[in-house]
């Protein structure tokens, strides 16, 4: 991997995804340019030919169409060499009848260092990190899981969909959306930031534009 920007520490939410040239199972890619105009999920795993990682890759692949429907690509990563990735993919195809269609980065350690996904307290392998990057190349979500816990891939699909809806409609998404315990599948109207807006909220709620439990907790169905 060739780091194209000065490493200024672990990336944070809202940062541009670091520019880097990476070797993958699909050839050399320039990130984030390779996915220009698309969202992408970069996820790291501790190592090839390990049981939890294998279950995760199968789960990601089985939901690949769902990600693509959201204009979102997948790219995996570990500090294994390309030939190990390729042989592991072949094993998954031969033994589990699942063909991995997304690229996997073969990292020498530089990508992991740039993204801050080797945590000394959890060993020398990459932790199970997830970076959700939007179509403008900005990091929108970062998730970390320890090596011993596999990820819930349906949750990653959910957060991509939820963030896209939030952006498009300028709304917030409640807990467990679309199955929230208070507002169901509704979305949250951002809180009022001044007195007049708070008063207008209640008026609009009476007119049926949206619903309010109180002036600061309003919601609507898309």
Report phi then psi at 92, rounded to 5. Answer: -60, -40
H helices, E strands: number in the chain: 6, 11
Q: If you count them, how many residues does the chain have?
A: 222
- The DSSP 8-state label assigned to residue 89 in this structure reads H
The helix/strand/coil state of 2 is strand
The helix/strand/coil state of 176 is coil
CA atoms within 13 A on the CB side of 84: 13
125 burial class (0-12, 13-18, 19+ CB within 10 angstroms)?
buried
- The DSSP 8-state label assigned to residue 173 in this structure reads -
Q: Is 72 a catalytic residue?
A: no
43 burial class (0-12, 13-18, 19+ CB within 10 angstroms)?
buried
> 53, 72, 212, 218: which is the annotated catalytic residue?
53
Q: Are residues 69 and 36 in contact, defined by beta-carbon separation less than 8 angstroms? A: no
Q: Interior CA angle at 150 toward 148 and 153, to 5°?
A: 165
**Residues carrying an active site annotation:** 53
């Amino acid at each position: 991997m060739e780091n194209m920007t000065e490493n200024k520490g672990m990336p944070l939410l809202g940062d541009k995804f670091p520019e880097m040239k990476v070797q993958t199972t699909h050839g050399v890619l320039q990130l984030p340019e390779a996915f220009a105009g698309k969202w992408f999920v970069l996820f790291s795993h501790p190592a090839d030919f390990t049981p939890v990682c294998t279950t995760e890759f199968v789960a990601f692949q089985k939901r690949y169409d769902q990600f693509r429907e959201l204009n979102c690509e997948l790219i995996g990563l570990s500090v294994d060499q390309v030939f190990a990735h390729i042989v592991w993919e072949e094993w998954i195809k031969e033994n589990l009848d699942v063909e991995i269609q997304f690229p996997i980065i073969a990292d020498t350690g530089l990508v992991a260092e740039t993204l801050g996904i080797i945590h000394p307290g959890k060993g020398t392998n990459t932790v199970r990190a997830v970076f959700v990057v939007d179509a403008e190349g900005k990091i929108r979500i970062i998730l970390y899981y320890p090596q011993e816990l596999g990820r819930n891939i349906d949750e990653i699909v959910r957060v991509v969909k939820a963030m896209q809806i939030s952006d498009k409609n300028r709304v917030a998404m409640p807990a467990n959306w679309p199955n929230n315990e208070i507002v169901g599948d509704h979305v949250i109207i951002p809180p009022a930031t001044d007195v007049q807006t708070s008063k207008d909220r209640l008026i609009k709620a009476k007119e049926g534009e949206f619903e309010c439990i109180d002036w600061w907790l309003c919601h609507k169905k898309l």
